[in-house]
Amino acid sequence: MNERTLGTSGLSTPPLVLGGNVFGWTADRAASFAVLDAFVAGGGRMIDTAESYSAWVPGHRGGESEAVIGEWLKARGRRDGVLIATKVGWEIGNARGLSRARIAEAIEGSLRRLGTDYIDLYFAHKDDPDTPLEETLDAFDRLVRAGKVRALGASNFDAPRLAHALDLSSQRQWTGYTVVQPLYNLMERAAFEGPLADICRVRNLGVLPYFGLASGFLTGKYRSDADLQGRTRAGAVKPYLNARGFRVLDALERVAREAGATMAQVALAWVAAQPGVTAPIASATSAAQVEELLGAMRLELTPAQLETLDLASRGA
């Protein structure tokens, strides 16, 4: 796969990032290792995780995904061959936010679990309005200067706060955010399209959208409430079971038949084709799913197919 420059971060990655939110959760250690092996063997390079994965699971404390990735890196000796992105700022036990103390504590935990002395791309997982931006940005800059982090990113930020953060970093000569990670897919467009996308374009920021498959809805396997029974993503998928969601699935099916591809591949290819997007993030729980995801990056949709999907996903 051809590599793409990730904004002004100095990093480059093939046009698919492997999501690590499932590691240590719906993918156990053996399945996670198989997924990671298949991803790298297929030309993948960047792996995305967070300290909070998977704190939402009963009995988990967070850090499970990072720990599995760290074990895989040690077992395979692959640290120099991959890029690791992780995040700080989401709730994990009683810890949360982007204060100087929280960031300093979190980076040490992530480095320890991952078994590395640096993070390639470190994200603010979400905005923290209770901490002054100056404090957060100074703390991140110190990590870069100390060599613990190579580049910085912002996830789940709105356009005004991102612009403010970028301006502050420039004024204070701090290392600024160079990558944005928004929610973006055929069912969720509002958070990225418009002002946030404009800022990314003007400021030359890399864009790595997450949930490119809308929690699995865009694979076509969820068509009714009955399909959600016993599924871990039922709560996230249920809101899509409506007229607009079924219209999008119908369009995906038509385009998939034309292209000789799966619905998941078409959904990810649509994200990858959108202006400003560097690479979508997608998760897998088996080597077979990895092969399908990598196939999406070799799929080039026609203008007519892109228009079909665009029209289906707009409106109520």
Enumerate the active-site residues: 53
Q: Distance between CA 269 and CA 254 in Å, rounded?
A: 14
Q: Which two structure tokens, joined as six digits, stand for 79?
A: 């640290």
Q: Distance between CA 119 and CA 83 in Å, rounded?
A: 8
Q: Distance between CA 175 and CA 141 in Å, rounded?
A: 5
Residues 6+ apart with CB under 8 A from 59: none
Query: For residue 217, what is the DSSP state?
Result: G
Q: Which two structure tokens, joined as six digits, stand for 209?
A: 């959208």
Q: Residue 84: beta bridge partners?
A: 47
Q: Which two structure tokens, joined as six digits, stand for 260?
A: 């000789």
Contact 153, 85 (CB under 8 A): yes
Distances (CA, A) of 270 to 289, 290, 308: 18, 18, 11
Angle at 216 between CA 215 and CA 220, to 5 degrees: 145
Which residue, among 192, 197, 196, has the nearest Cα to 212 in the 3D structure? 192
Q: Which two structure tokens, joined as six digits, stand for 139?
A: 């703390």
